Amino acid sequence: MPELEDSTAKTKAAFDPNILQDLLPLYYKRLFPHKQFYRWMSYGRSESSIFSNREFSFTLQNDVYIRYQSFETQQELEREICSRAPFKIDIGAVYNIRPKDHRGSVAIQPVQRELVFDIDMTDYDDIRTCCNEANVCQLCWKFMSIACRVLDEALREDFGFEHLLWVFSGRRGIHCWVSDKSARHLDTAARSAIAQYLNVLISGGEGTASRVIIHDEMHHSVKRAYHIVAPLFEEICLVDQDMFSKPEGVKKLLALVQDQTIRTELEKRFKAGPSDSKSVWQEFVAYFEELRMSGNINRYRRYRFIVEEVILAFTYPRLDINVTKGFNHLLKSPFCVHPKTGKVCIPFNPNTASKFDPTDVPTVIDLLKEVNVFDEKNTVE
């Protein structure tokens, strides 16, 4: 085993992806939860061929990609994982035949699949100011934290799902696996319907913030989401991200108001007052309160929910709905090691997601160092 540097400091040294090939064999042999992984994927063998007809894919060194793998037993899967030491394991659908036989005479068709959700931090790049691209810190993680709460409550309360697994992707995103039997057997149309139901954001186009449109009444699911995100809007958007203190942030705020006359009036008021985010937001809210009090019902009607729309536009979960819609979409397995960061894709509790620190997730180096310490201690004893 390669010598492991001390990585116990809070600020971890940058991970060197070149050493991953030397670390993975021991990780898979000593630490990967093969038994628990098999129990999840087999669902107690409650349905015929549910494990043997499941597709797994491996990404090996130098981006060698192997699809349509399937296994009969836990031992066979474990042996293959330990032998190949894949840089990434993806989980696919359960098919009507064994995926390894997909070149045979019977056409391969997916028959069941967990309902999955994928949220990527890069989809918040147009509004977060602390990081960009693949970088994530504790400030922008708050967007992920409230996304967990919003989606978890919607999936449980609106659809009655119970078995949800939330996983940190190892770098910049989160995945949710809904494993209820009723969810696994949803067809493509039903998955699309659920994805659309939960996706209240309307794309604003390149360079502008996505918008939310509330018509005569706020839907109960949107109302529940609003009650989750509204108390955190000031902390996240006005303080942590300080979204409206620069002209580009103000431009995105104004873009959510469709009336050119109102946008012009707001812009004048913003320029006349303090330019910090809190003051800009207070002026925005005050303007529409004055419009409500003016008695101009026709002008105000369209902007009755403008404050709620803006808060939701900047805080509501940004789903990659194509992942959810796809019946046979492959998604990274929990407990993989991210090849760029070395971090393990660990599950977390959505109810305590606000306490989760993505910058302090254990790396494969951290874990194998603990194995070394354990082995040395037991050797001495």
Question: What CATH number does residue 144 fall under?
Answer: 3.90.920.10
pLDDT of residue 217: 86
Q: Which of 315, 333, 366 is the last residue of a domain?
A: 315
The reply to whether 35 and 122 lie within a common domain is: yes
The reply to whether 273 and 338 lie within a common domain is: no
Instruction: Look up the domain containing 37 and give its range.
Output: 13-198+320-376
- For 214, other C-beta atoms within 10 Å of its C-beta total 17
pTM here is 0.91
The reply to whether 192 and 324 lie within a common domain is: yes
How far is it, in rounded angstroms, from Cα 264 to Cα 266?
5
Q: Which of 315, 331, 361 is the last residue of a domain?
A: 315
How far is it, in rounded angstroms, from Cα 59 to Cα 333?
12
The reply to whether 251 and 311 lie within a common domain is: yes
Do residues 339 and 65 make contact, with C-beta atoms less than 8 angstroms apart? no
How far is it, in rounded angstroms, from Cα 11 to Cα 131?
17
How far is it, in rounded angstroms, from Cα 223 to Cα 312?
10
The reply to whether 22 and 138 lie within a common domain is: yes
Do residues 140 and 359 make contact, with C-beta atoms less than 8 angstroms apart? no
Tell me, yes or no, whether 5 lies in a domain: no
78, 120, 152, 309: the active-site residue: 120
Tell me, yes or no, whether 381 lies in a domain: no
Do residues 199 and 319 make contact, with C-beta atoms less than 8 angstroms apart? yes
The reply to whether 283 and 238 lie within a common domain is: yes
The reply to whether 158 and 30 lie within a common domain is: yes
78, 90, 114, 118: the active-site residue: 118
Coil vs helix vs strand at 205: coil
Catalytic residue status for 120: yes
pLDDT of residue 380: 64
Do residues 116 and 90 make contact, with C-beta atoms less than 8 angstroms apart? no
The reply to whether 18 and 122 lie within a common domain is: yes
pLDDT of residue 77: 98
The reply to whether 178 and 248 lie within a common domain is: no
Tell me, yes or no, whether 103 lies in a domain: yes
pLDDT tens-digit profile, the chain (381 residues): 445 544 333 456 688 889 999 999 999 999 999 999 999 999 988 899 999 999 999 999 989 999 999 999 999 999 999 999 999 999 999 999 999 999 987 899 999 999 999 999 999 999 999 998 889 999 999 999 999 999 999 999 999 999 999 999 999 999 999 999 999 999 999 999 999 999 999 876 655 568 898 988 889 999 999 999 999 999 999 999 999 999 999 999 999 998 999 999 999 999 998 889 999 999 999 999 998 888 777 777 889 999 999 999 999 999 999 999 988 889 999 999 999 999 999 999 999 999 999 999 999 999 999 999 998 888 865
Tell me, yes or no, whether 245 lies in a domain: yes
Pairing of strands 54-60, 164-168: unpaired
- Distances in Å between the alpha carbon of 302 and those of 75, 128, 287, 299, 309? 62, 28, 14, 7, 11
- Domain count within the chain: 2
- Which residue stretches of the chain are H helix? 20-30, 34-42, 74-84, 141-157, 181-184, 188-198, 220-233, 247-254, 260-272, 277-293, 297-301, 306-315, 321-325, 364-380
Tell me, yes or no, whether 8 lies in a domain: no
Tell me, yes or no, whether 27 lies in a domain: yes
Tell me, yes or no, whether 174 lies in a domain: yes
Q: Which of 315, 332, 347 is the last residue of a domain?
A: 315
Tell me, yes or no, whether 7 lies in a domain: no
The reply to whether 192 and 337 lie within a common domain is: yes
The reply to whether 238 and 252 lie within a common domain is: yes
The reply to whether 130 and 192 lie within a common domain is: yes
